[in-house]
Chains A and B, each alone.
Chain A
Amino acid sequence: AQTVTQSQPEMSVQEAETVTLSCTYDTSESDYYLFWYKQPPSRQMILVIRQEAYKQQNATENRFSVNFQKAAKSFSLKISDSQLGDAAMYFCAKNSGGSNYKLTFGKGTLLTVNP
């Protein structure tokens, strides 16, 4: 079974500072996709950023960027210029590149942003 591991149950950051959330995964595939989802207190799951494993370039979406290390099976999320609205639970997730569309999630990291 695929596993996705988020080793930081909780993290905190000062407003306007940068924070990095860690994620590692287990896979024998060469083609797959990785995602970070944000879940604020409203509990809505919001897609933050995605990365295709065959692309070496790290994905970036405004203040959100990833550090994708394929050999190390690592996929960390960097949030720059943190804002109070970034406070949420963040989930790392992975699915397969083939016909298996199941998305496997990590246990999540609760991010607190301090003013």
Chain B
Amino acid sequence: DAGVIQSPRHEVTEMGQEVTLRCKPISGHDYLFWYRQTMMRGLELLIYFNNNVPIDDSGMPEDRFSAKMPNASFSTLKIQPSEPRDSAVYFCASSLMGRPNYGYTFGSGTRLTVV
């Protein structure tokens, strides 16, 4: 099992550019979560999917953020246009339905820097 795979590991972009973060969940997991980690706000849930369907996107900060899950093995988080305050570590995590007590498996995160 390769775990949750995120790419890229680091991303540096200029303000105003579009940024796309990618995630491949663990095979067979049917829940996928996107979290953002900053020093000020800690770990915040942005959005989560169940069986590729967005269930709760109340954590998405604004319309510049969007997330998709076109199939069970791939998800993207897009920021357009990016701003310096979007600089953070973005984590993807996956979980298996019926086993929330087992917690989530996290990817290694993408460190985004917007200059």
Contact = CB atoms under 8 A, between A and B. Distances in A.
Q: Do A and B bind each other?
A: yes
Interface stretch (B13-21, B41-49, B69-77, B78-86): B41-49
A35 B103 CA distance: 7
A43 B95 CA distance: 19
B101 A52 contact: yes
Interface in B77-115: 89, 91, 93, 95, 100-106, 108-109, 111
A33 B99 CA distance: 11
Looking at chain A, what size class is its interface with the partner chain? 20 to 34
B95 A47 contact: no
Contact of B43 (A44, A50, A52, A91): A91
B91 A45 contact: yes
B101 A44 contact: no
B3 to A, nearest CB: 9
A101 B100 contact: yes
Nearest to A43: B109
A103 B108 CA distance: 17
Nearest to B109: A43
Given A102-B48, A107-B42, A108-B42, A43 B103 contact: no
Given A44-B106, A101-B31, A33 B43 contact: no
A33 B103 CA distance: 8
B42 A33 contact: no
A92 to B, nearest CB: 11
Interface in A75-115: 91, 93, 95-97, 101-108
A91 B103 CA distance: 13
Given A33-B101, A50-B101, A108-B42, 10 more contacts: A35-B103, A43-B108, A45-B91, A47-B105, A91-B43, A101-B95, A102-B33, A103-B103, A105-B42, A105-B43
15 contacts: A33-B103, A37-B103, A42-B108, A43-B89, A43-B108, A43-B109, A44-B106, A52-B101, A93-B103, A96-B100, A102-B33, A103-B45, A103-B103, A104-B45, A107-B42
